[in-house]
Amino acid sequence: MHELSIVKHVIKTLREVVEENHVRRIGSVTLEVGEVSGVVIEQLADCWNYFREKDELVKGAPLYVETIEAVTFCTSCEKTYETVKFGKTCPYCGSAETYLLTGNEFSIKQIEAETDDSVEP
């Protein structure tokens, strides 16, 4: 279950954001997760829910996940197609000369936070 490590890394990154931007509280976090990234969204959410009750930084903060569709490009016919539906073989020309364009990403897209306006930069 690498989702636990992923959540720990996200929280570590949030701590860095908090320090750099004088954040008082994290309101919510939105992640972008590729369709074929290997991340199990349900397990990720379970891990987040565990930590948001244990860690004051993210206490009560909801996690939102936006899925990025997996799209593959065929170098033979120069067309794109849905990776999950067709895999590595191009549905247009049958070529296996393909590569993934999108769908393997994982990133923090947005952090909703309350800042401490009384702190001077």
CA-wise closest residue to 48 among 28, 25, 23, 32: 28
User: What backbone phi and psi angles, to 5 degrees, belong to 105?
Assistant: -75, 160
Domain locations in the chain? Answer: 3-69+103-115
pLDDT value, residue 8: 96
pLDDT value, residue 12: 96
Quote the CA–CA distance of 110 and 47 in Å, as a whole number. 19
User: What backbone phi and psi angles, to 5 degrees, belong to 93?
Assistant: -125, -5
21 against 85, higher pLDDT: 85
Quote the CA–CA distance of 87 and 95 in Å, as a whole number. 11
pLDDT value, residue 9: 96
pLDDT for 88 beyond 90: yes
pLDDT value, residue 1: 56
Give tens-digit pLDDT for 4-60.
Answer: 999 999 999 999 999 998 888 899 999 999 999 999 999 999 999 999 999 999 999
Give CA separation, 44 vs 12, 90, 95, 103, in Å: 15, 31, 35, 17
DSSP characters over 30-84: EEEEETTSS--HHHHHHHHHHHHHH-GGGTT--EEEEEEPPEEEETTT--EEEHH
In percent, how much of the chain has pLDDT > 70? 94
pLDDT value, residue 117: 60
Q: What is the mean pLDDT of residues 79-104?
A: 98
Quote the mean pLDDT of the chain: 93
Quote the CA–CA distance of 78 and 84 in Å, as a whole number. 18
pLDDT for 119 beyond 60: no
CATH 3.40.50.300 fits 3-69+103-115, yes or no: no
Q: Is the dihedral of CA 62, 23, 40, 51 positive or negative?
A: negative
pLDDT value, residue 115: 76
